Amino acid sequence: RKEIKKLTTGSSNLDNLLGGGLETQSITEFFGEFGSGKTQIMHQLAVNATMPVEKNGFDSDVLIIDTENTFRPERIIQMARAKDLDPDQTLERIHVARAYNSHHQILLAEKAADMAREYRIRLLIVDSLTSHFRSEYVGRGSLAERQQLLNRHMHDLLKFGTIYNAVIAVTNQVSANPAVFFGDPMNPIGGNIVGHTATFRIYLRKAKAGKRIARLIDSPYLPEGETVITITESGITD
């Protein structure tokens, strides 16, 4: 078994909550309502993974499976500049695969291993993990199939993380409305498939002026708790 490494989020508050950052060989799920900062954090993690080891980076390439077409190279450039990184070199190391439906998404995750033979990928992002599954498998009758496919997909991701000693970061949009929130089996609260496979789960809520509250939920060994992060032009900070 390879030594577990930790990837900085850009916020020392959030890093501390996580015991140093996102761990390799496990899945970290960021969940929260629209605009809660999930995609912004994914961009920041991608930039951070390319950073040198001395700066808590992995000096590695990144694979992003983008299901909602929300990857923005311009945002990577902004964040790279803020870290004194060469924007073009940073972008070159971030490989984006657009997933057109849930089947394609599953396929891309399976093919990630092929990419890892060509590039040194130590961060695999799926943003969003759940959007295609939600829109394709609607109604009670398709629920079991949806959860089964999602479960298998997550195990593929975890396997990649284990083999390549990579961080796996995924996003999951949830409604801020408690009635919808608790009624939805894809929501991490209340024990469901996404929740069971994700080792670290972080719930994001909006607060004032670019601030977000991040809460760590059900960690295998870290205490529950919450902290504040900020989304700025430069990226994710305290």
| Chain contacts with ligand ATP (rule: CB under 6 A) | 32, 34-40, 173, 210, 231-233
Tokens found for residue 232: 């700025």
- Residues 43-72 binding Mg ion (CB under 5 A) are 70
Q: How many CB atoms lie within 10 A of CB 171?
A: 26
x/- map, 144-183, Mg ion, by CB under 5 A: ----------------------------------------
Angle between helical axes of 73-82 and 38-50 (0-180°, round to 10):
60
* Residue 53 CB contacts under 8 Å (≥ 6 apart), including other chains: 59
Q: Considering CB distances under 5 to 8 angstroms, the limit depending on partner class, which of Mg ion, ligand ATP, none binds residue 188?
A: none
Which of 70/192 has CB closer to Mg ion? 70
CB 77 within 8 A of CB 94: no
Return d(Cα 85, Cα 96) in angstroms, integer. Answer: 19
Closest CA to 10 of 96, 92, 68, 85: 85
CB of 39 to Mg ion, least distance (A): 3
CB of 34 to ligand ATP, least distance (A): 4
Which of 35/225 has CB closer to ligand ATP? 35
Q: Considering CB distances under 5 to 8 angstroms, the limit depending on partner class, which of Mg ion, ligand ATP, none binds residue 182?
A: none
Whether 219 has a binding-site annotation, put simply, is no
Which of 116/170 has CB closer to Mg ion? 170
Q: Is the dihedral of CA 199, 154, 191, 68 positive or negative?
A: positive
Whether 35 has a binding-site annotation, put simply, is yes
Whether 39 has a binding-site annotation, put simply, is yes
- Residues 61-120 binding Mg ion (CB under 5 A) are 70
Whether 160 has a binding-site annotation, put simply, is no
CB 49 within 8 A of CB 55: no
What are the distances in angstroms from CA 82 to CA 78, 154, 234?
6, 33, 5
Contact between 39 and Mg ion per CB under 5 A: yes
> How does DSSP assign 160-180, residue by residue?
HHHHHT-EEEEEEE--SSHHH
Which of 116/186 has CB closer to ligand ATP? 186
Closest CA to 120 of 60, 65, 58, 161: 60
Which of 5/37 has CB closer to ligand ATP? 37
Q: Which residues participate in the annotated binding site?
A: 32-39
Which residues form the interface with Mg ion (CB under 5 A)?
38-39, 70
Q: Which residues participate in the annotated binding site for ATP?
A: 32-39
